[in-house]
Amino acid sequence: MTVARSGRFSGDRAPSFVALNSSLSLDWRLWREDIEGSVAHARALLGAGILSAAEYEAVENGLAAVGREIESGAFVPTDADEDVHMAVERRLTELIGEAGARLHTGRSRNDQVVTDVRLHLRRVIERQDAALASLQELLVARSADHLETVLPAYTHLQRAQVTSLAQHLLAYFWMFERDRTRLEAARQACLELPLGAGAAVGLDFPLDRTAEAADLGFDRVAENSLDAVASRDFVVDYLAAAAQLGAHVSRLGAEIVLWASGEFGFVRLPDAYAGGSSIMPQKKNPDAAELMRAAGPRLAADLGGLLGVLHGLPLAYNTDLREDKRYLFDAVDCLDQLLPVVHGVLAEIAYDETRMAAACDPSLAATDVADYLVEQGVPFREAHHLTGGLVRRCLERGEDLAQVPLEELRSLSPAFDERYYELHEPAAQLARKRSRGGSAPERVREQLERARAALEARPCC
Ligand code: ARG
């Protein structure tokens, strides 16, 4: 049975339109929040004297019964219901009769849907923030073992200078830290109650919106009814945070793909997160890391999709807005699937410290040589030029920087002395990077402390 079509229409809707118009595939997952919001609304109707105590009780019990039916699979909506709100209300009215038919007083699906989504998204963010926090904990734990594991830092994907694996992993810690800040801002944006805005202009009934807000755990009431039903900033905020997080995970995935290649060989992928080839028996493919990489554009597209829907849309509610859930839930599902995989990959990946160290070729000392000359009083530009000449000389002769005899160095500049030969061990180069935030093990140890403090200062929301 479906709710009879309004008296405004003479015939039924075309089946093709019913199918297109149904948003159940997008919004059915909101049923819990729809019931929660309906209970709070019923309480406000009771407070305003629109529902009697007996009617309120029937609605509350009826909604609980609908919830149980949905949970057990006994109640399944059909496209004719159009959306989650109509489906829940239809079933409620079937169960309890007239009191159910009074529930939609002083409410529109326009303020209802955006209330449901806010309630739902709050929970999503709490869950995903917790997943990010555990990723951060993992990064801290793995970094602590690798303060002295050297590898080249790359710029332009060319070996640049020596850094440590801890420093590299912690870079992602701070990216995720900022992602959590953005997610928290999106969660805060969810805490404004739209319910009570009605279809667009507010209500004829004196419903206590402040009490409704408190009831549902919102911390404030939307100030403007048109804004309340027309805006989706809070979804954009989430999608923007998700897109940025996606870009971070994508870079991490891309790096793992690169590092797992035969050419780099910096990591061995856990078998649990690798794929095979249907034709080449020797292959071990970095599928999980590739899908991490691919999540970046997917999440960026979700953000772009919603911004596209919002662009140029006149106030207030328009059916276009129901598409918000298409983009929102795609991003939610993407991150729900992705974050445990990122955790698994990072927890089980094996680092090949020998390959990393071997990639620290002698030319990586060049900047240290130039900086050493500066310490000897040579202006940096001159030191850079001198060292560049030294590198070229070594390339021509097929020698290493460390092998150049002192007298030859001194013929280039009297600033050279024995200390030149202390610069060529990767560990020595690492130890010299003592600026705050730098790669020297002592600095990274401090950074680890700050990372741990940041984790502690931000319990999961
Ligand atoms: N199902 C719609 C959505 O998801 C809510 C209904 C809005 N109201 C309307 N008259 N179509 O946004």
Architecture of the domain delimited by 110-358: Up-down Bundle (1.20)
Residue 1 is predicted with a pLDDT of: 45
Query: Which one is the CATH code of 15-105: 3.30.360.10, 3.40.50.150, 1.10.275.10, 1.10.357.10?
Result: 1.10.275.10
Pocket test for ligand 1, best of 84, 108, 318, 319 (most atoms within 8 A of CB): 319
> Which atom in ligand 1 lies closest to the alpha carbon of residue 23?
1
Residue 461 is predicted with a pLDDT of: 66
By C-alpha distance, which of 239, 266, 59 is closest to 153?
266
362-440: CATH topology: Ribonucleotide Reductase Protein R1; domain 1 (1.10.40)
Strand partners, 285: 275
Residue 322 CA neighbour count, 13 Å, CB half: 19
Q: How far is the CA of 336 from the centre of ligand 1 (A)?
A: 26
The answer to whether 38 touches 103, Cβ cutoff 8 Å, is yes
Report DSSP letters for 210-260, one per residue: HHHHHHHT-SEE-S-HHHHHH--HHHHHHHHHHHHHHHHHHHHHHHHHHHT
* Domain residue spans of the chain: 15-105, 110-358, 362-440
Q: How far is the CA of 229 from the centre of ligand 1 (A)?
A: 10
Neighbour-count burial of 391, counting CB atoms closer than 10 A to its CB (0-12 exposed, 13-18 middle, 19+ buried): middle
Pocket test for ligand 1, best of 110, 195, 310, 326 (most atoms within 8 A of CB): 110
24 close to ligand 1 (CB < 6 Angstrom): no
Structure pTM? Answer: 0.96
83 close to ligand 1 (CB < 6 Angstrom): yes
Walk along the chain (461 residues) and give the pLDDT tens digit of each residue.
Answer: 455 678 899 999 999 999 999 999 999 999 999 999 999 999 999 999 999 999 999 999 999 999 999 999 999 999 999 999 999 999 999 999 999 999 999 999 999 999 999 999 999 999 999 999 999 999 999 999 999 999 999 999 999 999 999 999 999 999 999 999 999 999 999 999 999 999 999 999 999 999 999 999 999 999 999 999 999 999 999 999 999 999 999 999 999 999 999 999 999 999 999 998 899 999 899 999 999 999 999 999 999 999 999 999 999 999 999 999 999 999 999 999 999 999 999 999 999 999 999 999 999 999 999 999 999 999 999 999 999 999 999 999 999 999 999 999 999 999 999 999 999 999 999 999 999 999 999 999 999 999 999 999 987 76
321 close to ligand 1 (CB < 6 Angstrom): yes
